[in-house]
Structure 1
Amino acid sequence: MAACRVNHAVAFKIRRNNMNDKKYSLRPYLLAYKWHYAIGIFVLLAVDLANLYIPQFIGEIIDGITAGKLDMAGVGGIIFKILITGLIIMAGRFGWRYFIIGASRGIEYRLRDDMFSHMETLSARYYNSHKTGDLMAYFTNDLQAVRMGTGMAVITVFDAVIMTVMVLVKMVVYVDFKLTLFAFIPLIFIAIGCYFYGIESKKRQVKRQDAFSYLSDKVQESIAGIRVVKAFAQEEEDFKQFEKACENSREKNLAVVKLRAVFGPTLDAVIGISVIVTLLAGGRMVLDGQVSIGQFVAFNSYIDMLVWPMIAAGDCINTFSQAAAAWGRIQTIFEEKPDIVDMVPPENVIENDGMAGRNADNLAEGIYDKIQIHGDIQLSHLTFAYPDGTKPVLSDVSIHVKQGEMLGILGRTGSGKSSLADLLLRVYDCENGMILLDGRPITDYPLAVLHRDISYVPQENFLFSDTLEENIAFGLEDRIADNPAILDAVKQAAKDACIHDNIMGFPDEYKTMVGERGVTLSGGQKQRSSIARALLKDSAILILDDSLSAVDTDTEEQILENLMETRQGKTTIVIAHRISTLQKADHVAVLSDGKLTEYGTPEELLELGGFYADISHKQQLESELGS
């Protein structure tokens, strides 16, 4: 059998530790691209400086021609300067886009990777309380807002501040200080308005993004459950709920748009007032001979150049507000801590196993390969209640499963069977020492090792939207596309799970696409595909959580016989409601309200005349009546 994803687990753990050490701010991401920003801002500065000379050159042409001091050769020389300046501006605009926008894309890429890695470490509790659609919004709308805040917003804020200062300086130096002062006074009100606009914009952006998350979740949930919606003829009611979510999103978006609609025209009005003041004061100064016609034309061009920084001021405030709201939501993900973590460093596990004294480099390389679970399981007075519950779902359960044995678990719905499987997988934790693997507390083993050496087939089988062969090979380190030799092992596992003949009956055989969540397969086919995936992993411990409920008894018996043959020397735990599933088990544990009420071989439990015997007789009678 091919190896499990050990190397991936090592890399994942290193990445997870890095995430846990990280301060939850954008600073590390920005610093990673500090040279991109430095070069980009330098190029942007060069572009803005070059822009300042275009009005000056035009003014020199006008004054030179008006005064008769400039011939055609002189005009051609200045036009050549304008062309060179234009080429510099063109190249510079490509440069700042490449460096600054490129840096923002890189930050988005790293953030998305870190978010996904961190979310993979979070425990079941987090996903029980957060909807899929809402989480998807973090990876789309929120990340896009952060990208805009670290990209275009940097450019707009630079222009809003630096270019404004440079234009004003140029207006003072080249034209006139008094005229510049007249034009600038109305612009002060823009700065005051921008401050209050930013405060209100951030509040509305938060509500807007929350509404988008709710809408995303509603769409995702409706599409995922479309079969149920149709089966219960709830299309109209579902559409009404969708309309409410749409209306809520529309209102929150309109609130942002209305604020922009007020701020934009106000900004234009202030700029217009500045232009009127310039025309009145500047025209008088031209008539009085204080300013030349060329200088006045250049001054009006500079006023036009101030329009973009003023607009940029509003845009950057809006973008930063949206980015700040999005980053606040993203921070809540990074601040969420996993409930289940490694309790003992893997080095200590190896040392306690008598493997100390190894070279440090060798220890770090393939460290998880040196830790193995053999399959001896001991439950010692196991008592457990869910974090949000008060009543224990398991009470004082003591069972010893030796390596290579098959344990059957029987019980009514809600008796704690699946909870026991969750504890063995450390989806949840119980008190230390209640579960021992190979004589050691389960918390001594790294999670990567635990999940590598335990295969699990859940009640709700999940298949990815991929080919059958890739779904079965999911637990292996290599993909079939990279290592075609795996396909032989995949087919053998499918035969052991009694799904091979079904697969060969499909037009594309093992390359059949199963659709989202395996929607194109029947319940029994999905169960057997999941069993094949677990068998291919060939782990020391296999847990089947009611994984044969959708197959007929003949197929069930064949699968169990294959398990007995292929898993000799390995531990298997079978949770079931049907007695036929448990007849080949070495021992059967009967749970009732979380307590171990019966334990023994199938024959012993039949003689005991308890719950096991009662269920056995009833199911046998049902089988006889059915036949």
Structure 2
Amino acid sequence: MYNFKTLKPFLFKNKWPYILGILWLLVVDLLQLFIPEVLRSITNQLQNNQLTYQDIFRYSLYIFLIGIGIGFFRFLWRMLIIGASRELEYHLRNKLFSHLLTLSTSYYHRHKTGDLMAHLTNDIHAVRMAFGPGIVAMTDAIFLNITATTMMALTTNFRLTIYALLPMPLLILCMTRFGELIHAKFKTVQEAFATVTDQTQENLAGVRVIKAFVQEDTEITQFNEKSQALFDRNMELAKLFGIFHPLVQFLSSLSFIIAIWYGGRLVIEGGMSLGDFVAFITYLGLLVSSISAIGWVINVMQRGSASMERLNKILEEKPEIQDAPDAIKQLEIKGAIAFQQVFFTYPNSQYNALTNFSLEILKTAKIGVIGRTGSGKTTIANLLLRLYEANQGSITLDGYPIEKIPLETLRKYIAFVDQDSFLFSATIMENIGFGVDNYTLEDIQRVAKIAGLHEDVISFPKGYDTIVGEKGVTLSGGQRQRVSIARALLKNSKVLILDDCLSAVDTHTEEKILTALKDQAKDQTTIIIAHRVSTLKHCDKIIVLDNGMILEEGNHEELLALQGLYYDFYEKQLLEEKINME
């Protein structure tokens, strides 16, 4: 139960639905206890030949009214307790999702999406079951055990009650031991389920690659192996239940055997009336069913506990990057950026992504960044956005250390177009407007024209209301990049970072976009990261990165005159263009 400590605030806030629900549940249980008494009276009168038609009608009416009462109060407790458990499910899912969005980028490098999806579905469902049906069954078991045992001892025969309860310690010992095994087995089931979910998510996301490389059979084989592992774990759990439930039923039936043998003798010998015997057996039935339900309660609670343990591990994760306690709340950013002797190494990497990196960018300046793959170009954007923290050195924005700027403020002032050009499964308009709270169709069209997208969109049957599909699958690579550019432009931030986001468009379209950007971004500090020299030639300053260090810097003409790495890039791209023209 220690694993449920995280839920204390929710349970305290929602205590009344549980308290009232349990109260009405106890009323239902009390009403059930009247039925053995009605049966006792009927049987005794029948045994003594005293039962009349009027008595039959009266007892039938009692049972009918008890049934109506049970139905009414059962409805009340279901609405309260099951409703509260659904509220818990809603609360826990929102809390987990909100917490996941606060975690740093590195967390998602260590954990798979499928595993996190399993937490949001299976694990939360298991916790809901523990705090819904589990609470009901546990309350039933505790209350009926106490009251049924008391009624058996006080209203029938004390010695018979003691004999009938002899198997119960064995039953409790059995359920306790099996509860521990169920907890351990269910954790392995959840882990196997997470593996299958991850495989499914990854394969569906990469289905085009799978088909392109004709790897369907290989992926199906791998999925079958993981699915088989899940099946095996479930079968191990099922075998455990296959032993557990019959064993509980067997130990419970021993109580009936004792009651029938000893109670029957008492009736024959006149030590107990037949009505008392019938009432005792009915009470015993309530007792045994409630004790048997303890097995189900242990199962549900152990599943819920195992799932809550997995959820707690996520909820206890702290973002590696947070607002500083002395963060500057009120500031106005204009866009001047400075890197001073910055060193950075990605987690689990042995090599520096940036080494002794220093760069000063004046406000409204246009800076180009070029270099070989893996030279550290994207790292500049990652550190400026505080997706990662620099290992050494300082980064400032208008003289403020970025660690002292609240994350929300910092990222509000920076518009970023990453090289993946991720789109949501929504309309083109919704994707472009993602980064702002309010926008009009005219705003969307304006930035789409700058990004060279408008002509493509109006050719679609639904225009800006076109659904782009998961990750923008219905659009071409160039169209996805241009939607991402338009999304960043609509944000109208002081700093604009374009990370290799024109690689999928032709040079003619690229030239049109860059020309339009020149006017749009004249009041913005712009960092353009690219592999093509043509993308950067109009920048005020270009830096050439190699192994995380600035190898060359200057404008286009100055870098060509150096005849260094930048010149090599330029010559190779001229050769590529010449070959393509031929």
Change (3 A) 1:24 1:77: closer
The equivalent residue for 2:187 is 206
The equivalent residue for 1:537 is 491
In structure 1, C-alpha distance between the alignment counterparts of 2:271 and 2:282, rounded to whole Å: 18
| Equivalent residue runs for 1:105-504 within 5 Å | 105-346=86-327, 349-350=328-329, 370-431=330-391, 434-478=394-438, 486-504=440-458
In structure 2, C-alpha distance between the alignment counterparts of 1:24 and 1:624, rounded to whole Å: 68
In structure 1, C-alpha distance between the alignment counterparts of 2:36 and 2:5, rounded to whole Å: 46
Alpha-carbon shift at residue 620 of structure 1 (Å): 2.2
- The one-letter code sitting in structure 2 at the alignment partner of 1:444 is K
Q: Name which of 86, 90, 93 aligns with 2:74.
A: 93
Offset from partner CA, 1:272-296 (integer Å, 9 cap, x none) = 2211211111111111222111221
Q: Name which of 81, 88, 97 aligns with 2:62.
A: 81
Offset from partner CA, 1:360-392 (integer Å, 9 cap, x none) = xxxxxxxxxx43321101111222222333322
CA contact (8 A) 2:343 2:393 kept: no
CA contact (8 A) 2:37 2:279 kept: yes
- The one-letter code sitting in structure 2 at the alignment partner of 1:399 is L
Alpha-carbon shift at residue 432 of structure 1 (Å): 6.8
Higher alpha-carbon deviation: 65-74 or 265-274: 65-74
In structure 1, C-alpha distance between the alignment counterparts of 2:210 and 2:392, rounded to whole Å: 44
Question: TM-score, normalised on structure 1?
Answer: 0.90
Offset from partner CA, 1:470-493 (integer Å, 9 cap, x none) = 011100114xxxxxx621101111
In structure 1, C-alpha distance between the alignment counterparts of 2:426 and 2:570, rounded to whole Å: 40
In structure 2, C-alpha distance between the alignment counterparts of 1:390 and 1:132, rounded to whole Å: 26
The equivalent residue for 1:608 is 562
Offset from partner CA, 1:379-411 (integer Å, 9 cap, x none) = 112222223333221112222111111100010
Q: Name which of 45, 48, 58 aligns with 1:64.
A: 45
In structure 1, C-alpha distance between the alignment counterparts of 2:332 and 2:29, rounded to whole Å: 64
Offset from partner CA, 1:211-246 (integer Å, 9 cap, x none) = 111111111111111111111111111111111111
In structure 1, C-alpha distance between the alignment counterparts of 2:546 and 2:258, rounded to whole Å: 88
Question: TM-score, normalised on structure 2?
Answer: 0.97
CA contact (8 A) 1:201 1:321 kept: yes
Give every structure 1 segment of 4 or more consecutive aligned residues whose post-TM-superposition deviation is greater than 4 Å: none
Please state whether the residue corresponding to 2:317 is helix, strand or coil. coil
The equivalent residue for 1:19 is none
Alpha-carbon shift at residue 306 of structure 1 (Å): 2.2
Offset from partner CA, 1:542-586 (integer Å, 9 cap, x none) = 100000000011110111111110111111100001111001111
Offset from partner CA, 1:425-465 (integer Å, 9 cap, x none) = 11111157621100111111110011111011111111011
Are residue 515 (structure 1) and residue 469 (structure 2) matched?
Answer: yes
In structure 1, C-alpha distance between the alignment counterparts of 2:43 and 2:291, rounded to whole Å: 28
Are residue 47 (structure 1) and residue 47 (structure 2) matched?
Answer: no
CA contact (8 A) 1:172 1:180 kept: yes
CA contact (8 A) 1:24 1:335 kept: no
Are residue 573 (structure 1) and residue 554 (structure 2) matched?
Answer: no
Please state whether the residue corresponding to 1:25 is helix, strand or coil. helix
Offset from partner CA, 1:7-32 (integer Å, 9 cap, x none) = xxxxxxxxxxxxxxxx9622222222
CA contact (8 A) 2:28 2:69 kept: yes
Alpha-carbon shift at residue 617 of structure 1 (Å): 2.5
Higher alpha-carbon deviation: 179-188 or 514-523: 179-188
In structure 1, C-alpha distance between the alignment counterparts of 2:331 and 2:290, rounded to whole Å: 62
CA contact (8 A) 1:383 1:394 kept: yes
CA contact (8 A) 1:156 1:312 kept: yes
- The one-letter code sitting in structure 2 at the alignment partner of 1:384 is F
Please state whether the residue corresponding to 2:352 is helix, strand or coil. coil
CA contact (8 A) 1:468 1:513 kept: yes
Alpha-carbon shift at residue 81 of structure 1 (Å): 2.1
CA contact (8 A) 1:534 1:542 kept: yes
In structure 2, C-alpha distance between the alignment counterparts of 1:378 and 1:256, rounded to whole Å: 59
CA RMSD of aligned residues (A): 1.6
In structure 2, C-alpha distance between the alignment counterparts of 1:316 and 1:30, rounded to whole Å: 19
CA contact (8 A) 1:393 1:593 kept: yes
Offset from partner CA, 1:297-327 (integer Å, 9 cap, x none) = 1222222222321221100111111111101
Are residue 31 (structure 1) and residue 12 (structure 2) matched?
Answer: yes
CA contact (8 A) 1:24 1:334 kept: no
In structure 2, C-alpha distance between the alignment counterparts of 1:569 and 1:232, rounded to whole Å: 46
CA contact (8 A) 2:394 2:401 kept: yes
The equivalent residue for 1:362 is none
Offset from partner CA, 1:316-353 (integer Å, 9 cap, x none) = 1111111111011101101111111112444xx25xxx
CA contact (8 A) 1:344 1:446 kept: no
In structure 1, C-alpha distance between the alignment counterparts of 2:275 and 2:207, rounded to whole Å: 70
In structure 1, C-alpha distance between the alignment counterparts of 2:238 and 2:572, rounded to whole Å: 67
In structure 1, C-alpha distance between the alignment counterparts of 2:484 and 2:200, rounded to whole Å: 28
CA contact (8 A) 2:553 2:559 kept: yes
Please state whether the residue corresponding to 1:185 is helix, strand or coil. coil
CA contact (8 A) 2:343 2:392 kept: no
CA contact (8 A) 2:152 2:283 kept: yes
| Equivalent residue runs for 1:582-601 within 5 Å | 582-601=536-555
CA contact (8 A) 1:372 1:453 kept: no
The equivalent residue for 2:84 is 103
Please state whether the residue corresponding to 2:165 is helix, strand or coil. helix
CA contact (8 A) 1:372 1:449 kept: no
Change (3 A) 1:424 1:43: same
- The one-letter code sitting in structure 2 at the alignment partner of 1:536 is L
Alpha-carbon shift at residue 412 of structure 1 (Å): 0.6
CA contact (8 A) 1:433 1:442 kept: no
In structure 2, C-alpha distance between the alignment counterparts of 1:213 and 1:401, rounded to whole Å: 46
Please state whether the residue corresponding to 2:37 is helix, strand or coil. helix
In structure 2, C-alpha distance between the alignment counterparts of 1:380 and 1:387, rounded to whole Å: 21
Change (3 A) 1:65 1:72: same
Please state whether the residue corresponding to 1:271 is helix, strand or coil. helix
The equivalent residue for 1:621 is 575
Aligned residue pair count: 579
In structure 2, C-alpha distance between the alignment counterparts of 1:334 and 1:185, rounded to whole Å: 45
CA contact (8 A) 1:373 1:437 kept: yes
Please state whether the residue corresponding to 2:322 is helix, strand or coil. coil
In structure 1, C-alpha distance between the alignment counterparts of 2:392 and 2:370, rounded to whole Å: 25
- The one-letter code sitting in structure 2 at the alignment partner of 1:223 is L
- The one-letter code sitting in structure 2 at the alignment partner of 1:448 is E
